[in-house]
Each structure stands twice: as C-alpha cells, then as structure tokens.
Amino acid sequence: MTANRWWWAFIPLGLLAALIVLVTQTGLLDRLRGPFPPVEVITVERVRLLPGRIELGIANAGPDPVTIAQVSVDEAFWNFTMSPSQTLGRFGRATVVLDYPWVENEAHVVSMLTSTGLTFEHGIALAVTTPVPTKASLWTFTLIGLYVGVIPVAIGLLFLPLIRRLSKGGLDFSLALTAGLLIFLGADALFEALENARAVPATLHGSALVVMGSVGTFLLLQLVGGSRARAESADGRRSVAWLIALSIGLHNLGEGLAIGAAYAIGEVSLGAFLIVGFMLHNTTEGLAIVAPVARDRPRLITLAAMGALAGIPTILGAWIGGYAFTATWATLFLAIGVGAIAQVVVALFRMFSRGEEPMWRPAIASGVLAGLLVMYATGLLVA
C-alpha cells in the first residue's frame, strides 16, 4: 500500500507533461509570442586588455538569440573576431576580440551593434594590461591574499592569552564582540553580493543566487556542524571556533575575489594611512576565532589550522579575482560567506543563552554593540 501511494504522483506529472507537449508542439507558442521584435540583452561579463588587444567575454542575458554585427571602439568601427560565433543563442556566451591600440591609463568605450540595430556599450574606466598567470603575477596575488587575509588573522589569534585571562564577564564580552564583528561582516558581504548580483546576466538571476547561496550555506552548515556547536563542552566550543574560521574563510574568499579583480584593473592607490586602518580592521577576524576556545587551551597546531582556514581562502580569491573575475562567481562566493556568517552568529548566540541568565545581559549587549562600533570606526579610517 505504501509503495502504491507514489503512483498518485503520475496524475499531476502526466498532465504537466501533456501540457508541455501541447504548448511546444502545436502552434500555441507562436500565438502567445506575438508579432514583436526579438528581445536582445547582452551582458559583458569580463574584459581582458592585452598589449594592442581588447577581449570581451559576453553573455546573452535575454530570451532570444542575438547577433553582434559590428563593434566600435570610441566611436570608430573596428574589425573584430568572435568565437565561437557572432550569434549567441539563449544562455550563449562568446568572446569578442579586437586588435585595438588602446591607450594605457585612459578610458575607452566599446559598443556592440546587433543585427537589429541595438547597441550595447561597455566602458573601460581605466585601461591597464590585464595580468596573465605568470610566476610574478601569481606571487603578487599571493601577497595580496597574505596581507588581506592570512597575516591579520594570525595577528588576531595572538589575542588568545589576553582573552584567557579575562573574567567570565570579560569572556562573554569578547564573544559578543565577535558576534558584533561577524554581523557587520555579514551585512557587508550581503550588500556586496547584491551589488554584484546586478551585473550578473539576467538569465542567471543574480538575486536568486544570493538567496540560494546564503540560505543554502546556512542550512548545510547547520546540518553538518550545527548540532555539535555547543557551549557546554570543550568539543562544542571548538566546533564553534572551526565554524567561525570556516565562515571567515568563505567571507575572505569573496573579499579576495573583489580585491584581486580591483587590483588587476589598476584600481590601486597606495598610502601608509590605509595600512594602519587595514591592520586594525582585519585583525579582528583572528580575535573572533579564538574567543570561543580561549579557556580550553587549544593546541597551537589547531589554532594555526583555524587561522589558515580563515585566511588562506583570501589568496585563492585573489587569484580567481585577478585572472578570471566574473560578477556571477563573486555573487555566489559572497552569498556563501553570508550564509556561513549567519550560521556562526546563530551558534554564538546559542552559547550566550545558558542556564537561568538572561541572554541579553549587559556584557553581551555591550559586546555586540562594541563589535559593530569597532568595525564601523576602523572602517572610517579607510573611507
């Protein structure tokens, strides 16, 4: 009897299949379509600038095929090649290559003219050579990752001896501070994810990627480690620390991506003032990891592993960002970071509510507030 109940699924599914056949195989579809011109939408996903050459990676973000008939640069028609084809089907992608003598450190506008006469423009705000994977550029991006992710996290870990010596209230405060920092980072990542989502081809639904990436990650981590992350045991607290490290790592992956991409297109200005702000701002990530396990005297190797998990993804992100940035990947990675952070914040708050004590006791509330303020204030240093 229990096996037979699944047969009931065939009634709705069968009807649905019949309907699909009816719509696609009869003239119904043409009737619905109407006598309208095709809807053409082209999204530029990435730009590569090589000496004397511009390459655009483009995607068809509309429902109909699009043919790029001509390309102009700065209001001059220019010969180009396109692979695999000048026509992009639905979900189609192509690379447009122009042998164009672009000028370093100046702006250019590439305009694509479709067969129906529509134009899609893409501005290059500052033309600099896109790095290609060489030993030197790989090392550069590795350094970026080290400075953005690994070193600040490692420095933050050194708060451990201090936190260990704090009173119970002090420890509560430092954990709540961690929660505040993470809430700030999570909100930051969410806004960045949504910002990037706008540049995702419409067919891939950027905002849906943000929802799926964040909620999906949250639920996945909840399934995997959520039940183990408890304040009552040393194992549970270590699980919380691992989850924090993982979530910061995922966040830093997205961050490395953005920084690597920005650095690759030459949006880098240097100043000592910014370094100070950077150090203050990002060492807090290391503090966040050690706060839950401060009392448990974790082994050095465990701490180092946690630091690596939190920091090293920044290097990976910088590589991807530097060589193959697309808004789609950035959106997805940032959204995953959001979900991971949300899961950790939930785990932290579960640590706060223990026994008869009210959860929002002064040490907790002030700690969260302090965490937000620290992030905001150190952020001001580099605004």
Partner 1 sequence: MKKPTMTRRALLARGALGAAGLATAPRTLGAAEQALGRHGSHTPDLASTQGRVTRASIDPTAFLEHFDYGTVTTLPDGGTRREYTLTAVDAEIEVAPGVFYPAWTYNGQVPGPTLRATEGDLLRVVFVNAGTHAHTIHFHGIHPARMDGVYEVVNPGDRFVYEFTARPAGLQLYHCHAIPLKRHIAKGLYGTLIIDPKVPRPPAREMVMVLNGFDTNFDGTNEVYAVNTVPFAYHHDPIRVKKGELQRIYMVNILEFDLINSMHIHGNFFNVFRTGATTSSDFTDTLMFCQGERHIIEFTYEETGRFMFHAHQSEFAELGWMGVFEVVDEPSVIA
Residues 300-359 that bind partner 1 (CB under 8 A): 321-322, 325, 327, 330
> Minimum distance from CB of 110 to partner 1 (Å)?
10
Judged by CB under 8 A, the residue of 275, 304, 369, 377 near partner 1 is 275
Kindly state whether residue 282 participates in binding partner 1, applying the rule CB under 8 A. yes
Q: Are strands 66-73 and 108-114 parallel, antiparallel or unpaired?
A: antiparallel
Judged by CB under 8 A, the residue of 61, 71, 175, 344 near partner 1 is 71
> Minimum distance from CB of 364 to partner 1 (Å)?
26
Judged by CB under 8 A, the residue of 59, 66, 88, 148 near partner 1 is 148
Judged by CB under 8 A, the residue of 54, 88, 94, 124 near partner 1 is 124
Q: Which residues does 287 contact at the CB level (< 8 Å), separation at least 6?
A: 156, 157, 159, 163, 174, 177, 178, 181
- Point out which residues pair with 109 in neighbouring strands: 123
3-state secondary structure of 44: strand
Q: Rounded to an integer, what distance in angstroms lies between the CA atom of residue 288 and that of residue 373?
A: 15
- Point out which residues pair with 66 in neighbouring strands: 88
Stretch that binds partner 1, among 77-85, 209-217, 343-351, 363-371 (CB under 8 A): 77-85
Judged by CB under 8 A, the residue of 41, 97, 115, 155 near partner 1 is 115
Judged by CB under 8 A, the residue of 55, 64, 195, 296 near partner 1 is 195
Residues 315 and 146 sit within 8 Å (Cβ to Cβ): yes
Judged by CB under 8 A, the residue of 122, 228, 295, 350 near partner 1 is 122
Q: Enumerate residues 21-40 that contact partner 1 by CB under 8 A.
A: none
The nearer residue to partner 1, 219 or 274, going by C-beta atoms, is: 274
For residue 101, the 8-state DSSP code is -
Q: Enumerate residues 83-112 that contact partner 1 by CB under 8 A.
A: 86, 99-102, 104
Interface mask toward partner 1 for 149-188; x: CB under 8 A: ---------------------------------------x
Kindly state whether residue 60 participates in binding partner 1, applying the rule CB under 8 A. no
Helices (H), 159-226: 160-164, 168-197, 206-221
Residue type at 344? V
- By rule CB under 8 A, what count of residues binds partner 1? 85
The nearer residue to partner 1, 72 or 366, going by C-beta atoms, is: 72
Stretch that binds partner 1, among 235-243, 266-274, 301-309, 362-370 (CB under 8 A): 266-274
Q: Rounded to an integer, what distance in angstroms lies between the CA atom of residue 287 and that of residue 182?
A: 11
Q: Rounded to an integer, what distance in angstroms lies between the CA atom of residue 183 and that of residue 187?
A: 6
Q: How far is CA 14 from CA 10, 11, 27, 28, 383, in A?
A: 5, 5, 21, 19, 59
Kindly state whether residue 78 participates in binding partner 1, applying the rule CB under 8 A. yes
Kindly state whether residue 259 participates in binding partner 1, applying the rule CB under 8 A. yes
Judged by CB under 8 A, the residue of 211, 220, 263, 349 near partner 1 is 263
Judged by CB under 8 A, the residue of 9, 136, 223, 301 near partner 1 is 136
Kindly state whether residue 67 participates in binding partner 1, applying the rule CB under 8 A. yes
Alpha-carbon dihedral sign for residues 260, 263, 267, 269: positive
Judged by CB under 8 A, the residue of 54, 60, 61, 114 near partner 1 is 114
> Minimum distance from CB of 310 to partner 1 (Å)?
15
SS (H, E, C) 321-352: HHHHCCHHHHHHHHHHHHHHHHHHHHHHHHHH
Judged by CB under 8 A, the residue of 12, 34, 35, 51 near partner 1 is 51
Helix axis angle for 206-221 and 327-352, nearest 10°, is 40
> Minimum distance from CB of 241 to partner 1 (Å)?
23
Tokens, residue 340: 């991971």
The nearer residue to partner 1, 160 or 316, going by C-beta atoms, is: 316
The nearer residue to partner 1, 262 or 346, going by C-beta atoms, is: 262
SS3 content of the chain, % helix, strand, coil (to 5): 60, 15, 25
How long a stretch of residues is the chain? 383
